[in-house]
Amino acid sequence: MRLRTPLRLGVLTAAAALALLGGGTAATVNAAAVTSPGVAACQPGGNHSGARVKAGSKAVEPALYPKNEANAYGVLTNLPTLADGSVRIDTVFHMVDKDAFTTAEKARWQTLIAAQLKVLNDSYSGATATGAADTPFRFRLVDTTWTTNPAWYTAVPGSNAEREMKRTLYRGDATTLNVYGTQGGGLLGWAYFPKGYNHGRDYIDGVVMMAESMPGGTGLGYPQYTGGDTLTHESGHWLMLEHTFAHGCAANGDWVADTAPEAIPQFDCPIGADTCAAPGVDPIHNFMDYTQDSCMNMFTKGQADRMSDAWQQFRARGGKS
């Protein structure tokens, strides 16, 4: 199976911690577990978030769903899995900045967006690692928009600026991935579960991400986040995947049977980390953990199945249930 290309390996950079501000259920950690250096930055919370956060960030993460609705959001109807590569997701990039884009800047961003689409399609086709699962999903760029708005550029989750930006720029329907490239609001990116369409919340759909996290970006001083995996991670939430460490060592975990249970988010790339008594080491190479971009390289078959079920139930009809 094809592995990451030399170009992609060159873009992925060295170790740094990612911090999760809103976590899942507390769980017992094995005495022999390898502890990530970023764990001290974690703060427990009542919500399950859909964001990646830079180490030490004070930014507030959005909730994927209220904690008391966890089971409702976790249990999906088991449907026949869609064929690998059978769903083409129209993708729109909305590039937002505080200053007007020059011709040269637009050309640079178009190069980064093309590289990001390759990373996204490699990730969702199982081309990133031996044993990585293929999925039904492929992404195609259909449009790029350019907006100058200082308030939107620094929008944070749940703000009026976020809502105004999305209401103004959003294209398509629930089958369209809208990506908002901004400063990131102190986060690497955030997204929401698609089930919100049942409650008139379609206007918050899409992924907001730090635009400079794309391959070839600067990372705004954090080059370790420039492998393009922030969008892979956040689009996983967009397709209803939880973090691998959701609910800790509890039996339901992330609602995917073939991801080993994980008590805490892992950072850097701690080979051998094992934080739950159940079989299997922590899934540090999974796109839905919090390890660095150079460490994460796969979805599992169970995750592909869950994304397929979520697509059919909440997105395939344009968000109309």
Residue 259 near residue 303, CB atoms below 8 Å: yes
d(CA 163, CA 152): 9
Which of 61, 234, 242, 262 is the catalytic position? 234
Nearest one of 241, 253, 227 to 300, comparing CA atoms: 241
Q: Tell me if residue 61 is catalytic.
A: no
Tokens linked to 228: 């393009």
d(CA 255, CA 192): 17
Catalytic residue set: 234
